[in-house]
Amino acid sequence: MTREEFLEGLLAVMEAKEHWAWASFTDGTVAKSKLHLHFEQEYETYVRDFPVLIGHAYVQCPDSVARQELAENLYEEETGGLAAGRPHPELFLEYPRGLGFDLERYESIELLPAARAYRDVIDLCTQRRGWETAAAVTTLFIEGTKYERGEVDAAAPKRPETPLEQHPLVLHYGLPLEGLALTKAHRKVEGSHRQAAWKVILDRVGDQARPDVVAAMNEMLTAWKAYRDDVALACGLMR
């Protein structure tokens, strides 16, 4: 697999990372009382443990250049020491806190069946498929969006950034602006993180590992879509 084939294989996965129900979470269709289901499932599937997931990639990686980039990402996620000032999983909880949800629920979350399956795929990919796959599924798939081509091609559109006052949680659900702490942190670091992530994967993943990485990314996409289907159903949405 050539570098260009590898890039296009990865981008094809990311450009397919969109879900039919997402618009209902951003236009106010989903009842506020149901939003807690979305936040809890996100938190339990990957948000709480995201620094650990990156850590799995780090400890398996023999490449010092790649390790340095992974270490920086891990440090920011775990401590917020580069930009956010607080661990990113803690900042995530400012969303439900600002919406008046009961944070005690986050101490014991039961995953939906497809969410459990999605987390199982994440664990498999980050712990048993080598550092290349672990790095790709965390820094590209989980952190990335359908606008990833804009991170590697200056002519392609980047992920839109609306003013914070127009954020869906503010506009439709009354979240105070201070509840967007994680959104603000992401906007500070995400540009450099996205570019660094792509550089590591494209420059440091060897030819032999490339097909396995693309296959794992497709596996993640399938599991993620099923997971989002389950969340949508739990929130009362029908396709």
Residue 84's pLDDT is 80
Report all structural domains of the chain as residue ranges with CATH numbers, in order of start.
3-234 (1.20.910.10)
Residue 40's pLDDT is 98
Residue 122's pLDDT is 98
Confidence of residue 178 (pLDDT cuts 50, 70, 90): very high
User: What percentage of the chain exceeds 70 in pLDDT?
Assistant: 99
User: Which of 51-65, 78-92, 134-148 has the least mean pLDDT?
Assistant: 78-92
Mean pLDDT, the chain, rounded, equals 95
Q: Which parts of the chain fold into alpha helices (H)?
A: 3-15, 22-26, 32-42, 50-60, 64-79, 88-92, 94-98, 113-127, 131-135, 149-152, 168-173, 181-204, 210-234
Residue 61's pLDDT is 98
Per-residue pLDDT tens over the stretch 30-51: 999 999 999 999 999 999 999 9
Per-residue pLDDT, averaged over 134-157, amounts to 96
User: What letters, b where the CB count within 10 A reaches 16 and e where it falls short, cover 207-227?
Assistant: eebbebbbebbbbbbebbbbb
Q: How many residues does the chain have?
A: 239
Cα(83)–Cα(81) distance, integer angstroms: 6
Residue 191's pLDDT is 57
Residue 189's pLDDT is 74
The answer on pLDDT for 192 being more than 80 is no
